[in-house]
Amino acid sequence: MQSCIGASYTVTDIQVKPGTDVTDLESKINTLYQAELRKNGMIEEGENATVTTAFLDPLKNQHLRPKAGNDANYKVLIALSLLGFAILIIACINFTNLSIAQATKRAKEVGVKKVMGAYRYQLTAQFLIEILMQCFIATLLSLVVAEIALPQFNRLFLVDLTIWQIDNELIWQLPLILIFITLIAGYYPALVLSGFKPVSVLKGNFQTSKQTYWLRNSLLVTQFSVAVIFITGLLIINSQLKYMRTQDVGFNPNQVLRVKNIVYFNNPEKFAPIKEKILKVPGVKATTVANILPDGSETGSNGYTVNGTQASLDFIDVDYDYFETLNIKLKEGRLFSAEFKGDAQNAAILNEAAVARFGLKDPIGKVVRGCKTDYTIVGVIKDFKANGFEKAVEPSIYSINNPCGNGKTEIMIKVDENQMAAVLATLKANWKDINKRDGDNFRYEFLDEMYGKLFKKQEQLQSVFFAAAMLTIFIAILGLFAFAKYITNGRIKEIAVRKILGANDLQIFKLLNTSFFYMVMIANIISWPLAYILTKKWLETFVYRVDISVLPFVISGLITVLLTIITVTLQARSAVK
């Protein structure tokens, strides 16, 4: 069970009886919960009950798909699974295509065995066993590669996975996966090989059917379609990440130290002596304290009323110089100041989103009622992206005095550029004297690095997509290279005749490239709508995002066409010689 009242989400674990109606139980808990809150004066009679709620969430959902928080881990897991499956399918397509293309090389073997009395099902079984052995060897090699690559994967995703442990389900699933891949990649080639007629084969008068020809080309188109989707997706992911890194987020986390301490500084007078000592350290520009950091952390919320209009606002408990330390821009009014005695009691600053939520045209001087306190709005700040780009800026209220607050413990220190090392050394050496109640426990982090963690999942996705795109292109080009060699070898006599009749090298290159060019263009036309739908779906997870332009699709098309022309031309050159 998770709830929120004047603080971040709090969690209580409960065990329910089998067959319990969870929806009904959740409703009863909420009724009891809010009755207790009113009884203890934590919310007022008549206050909107939806502001303060409790909800039930299965324990199994907490790591991947929690109701409170985000499901970024789940999305990355699904993305990895889909990428892996797509690459596996491409590899199977490649194997199938090459097997069909080279089927004629074993046609005489099939003809002889059929003359000797072999049945088709026996030949099919033989070829499937051969393919199974190839897949088995490939599986062993893949385990070696996985073991080599696993440390890098663990570093990228901050996990500690291992392959060689007895309870790893992968070890027991591998035989099933091996059989599945063998059937997917090898069943049709085995049928093609075993289907040759012995009389035609022994006379040398045989060829693959038109159905096989169309299937072979269709598989090549499918292969390049997936490659185009990967390339387009990678380009759009790069574009979104570039936008996120360069966009003004509305505040400046650079050169800001976060010091976590165990002492509450809810009263400005308690923090004043600490602040004075910190400001005396050479290189310190400003310092403040708050109950939460602008790093995507869950913020408490409560119900507030202005002119009879009620709304739920996130509340942030701050101290003097909070906005100056983070370089948050003021839109109208003023910021908190010790020169105004009332600021420490009942002054409030709203962000633009909160002003819009209440529909205020002239907010300065208006009274906001919440947490049994009448606050006077003294200023409005511009919205800033404390929660990154995936969440909209929440309507927020900032105050120094907040009865619903949960304690200001997050000290932030703005340091002059090029003075960070010296400031850290001084603070470490003197922290016991600066903050006596905290003692030697000087724990610090850099706010820009903490805020940067909001981009971590997308950077991980970018890295995986880059690797997947490169691997997909490599597999596709490898298959194309072998396929082009097969086609070229099959047209050697035709090429020789054309050369005798006066055809130059450029005409031969054009002849061999034409069919492949058409197939790659068809692959692009098929994949572009799919790539658009998939990337649009991904971009919709961001509130602040780039628009999808035509450029990534054009670039992906050019890349695949150029790689195809280069690959086929290299084969054509050897044939021309």
**Is residue 289 scored above 90 in pLDDT?**
yes
H/E segment holding residue 242: helix 210-246
**Is residue 101 scored above 70 in pLDDT?**
no
Judged by average pLDDT, the poorest of 135-144, 154-163, 315-324, 516-525 is 154-163
Mean model confidence pLDDT for the chain: 83
Judged by average pLDDT, the poorest of 71-75, 444-448, 480-484, 523-527 is 71-75
Please, what's the b/e burial string for 388-407 (b: 16 or more CB within 10 A of its CB; e: otherwise)? bbbeebbbbbbbbbbebbbe
Most confidently predicted of 106-115, 149-158, 221-230, 546-555? 546-555
Q: In whole angstroms, what is the distance from residue 64 CA to residue 77 CA?
A: 9
Of the pLDDT bands very low, low, confident and very high (cuts 50, 70, 90), residue 126 is confident
Judged by average pLDDT, the poorest of 252-256, 346-350, 459-463 is 459-463
pLDDT, average across residues 65-90: 74
Stronger pLDDT, 90 or 216, i.e. the higher one: 90
Residue located via tokens 């379609």: 225
DSSP character string of 415-459:
E-TT-HHHHHHHHHHHHHHHSTTTTT--EEEEHHHHHHGGGHHHH
pLDDT, average across residues 284-307: 89
According to DSSP H, which parts of 445-504 are helical?
A: 447-452, 456-490, 492-500
**Mind listing the pLDDT tens digit for each residue in 413-444?**
999 988 999 999 999 999 988 888 777 778 89
Q: Determine phi and psi for 279, rounding to 5 degrees.
A: -65, -20
Coil, helix or strand at residue 369: strand
pLDDT score of 6? 45
**Is residue 538 scored above 80 in pLDDT?**
yes
**Is residue 297 scored above 60 in pLDDT?**
yes
Please, what's the b/e burial string for 89-117 (b: 16 or more CB within 10 A of its CB; e: otherwise)? bbbbbbbbbbbbbebbebbeebbebbeee
Stronger pLDDT, 467 or 279, i.e. the higher one: 279
Of the pLDDT bands very low, low, confident and very high (cuts 50, 70, 90), residue 207 is low
**Is residue 107 scored above 90 in pLDDT?**
no
CB neighbours of residue 446 within 10 Å: 16
Of the pLDDT bands very low, low, confident and very high (cuts 50, 70, 90), residue 134 is confident
pLDDT score of 559? 93
CB neighbours of residue 119 within 10 Å: 11
Stronger pLDDT, 358 or 174, i.e. the higher one: 358
pLDDT score of 5? 47
**Mind listing the pLDDT tens digit for each residue in 233-274?**
999 999 999 999 899 999 999 999 999 877 778 778 888 899
Stronger pLDDT, 102 or 509, i.e. the higher one: 509
User: For the chain, what percent of residues have pLDDT higher than 90?
Assistant: 33
Tell me the CA distances in angstroms from 45 to 34, 134, 300, 331, 518, one per residue in order.
10, 73, 20, 34, 72
Q: Over the Cα atoms of the chain, what is R_g?
A: 33
Chain CA centroid to CA 133, Å:
37
Most confidently predicted of 95-99, 181-185, 512-516, 526-530? 526-530
DSSP tally for the chain: helices H, then strands E = 17, 14
**Mind listing the pLDDT tens digit for each residue in 83-97?**
888 888 888 888 877
CA angle 103, 109, 114 (to 5 degrees): 110
Q: In 3D, which of 538, 551, 258 has the Cα closest to residue 389?
A: 538
Judged by average pLDDT, the poorest of 154-158, 220-224, 304-308, 466-470 is 154-158
Q: Determine phi and psi for 415, rounding to 5 degrees.
A: -110, 140
Instruction: Write out the two tokens for 91.
Output: 């590899």
Coil, helix or strand at residue 360: coil
pLDDT score of 48? 47
**Is residue 171 scored above 90 in pLDDT?**
no
CB 293 within 8 A of CB 452: no
Stronger pLDDT, 531 or 372, i.e. the higher one: 531
**Is residue 519 scored above 80 in pLDDT?**
yes
pLDDT, average across residues 135-154: 85
**Is residue 25 scored above 90 in pLDDT?**
no
Q: In whole angstroms, what is the distance from residue 556 CA to residue 296 CA?
A: 34
**Is residue 507 scored above 70 in pLDDT?**
yes
**Is residue 463 scored above 80 in pLDDT?**
yes
pLDDT, average across residues 13-37: 81
pTM of the model: 0.77
CB neighbours of residue 380 within 10 Å: 19
- With left for phi above 0 and alpha for psi between -120 and 50, is residue 372 left, alpha or beta? left
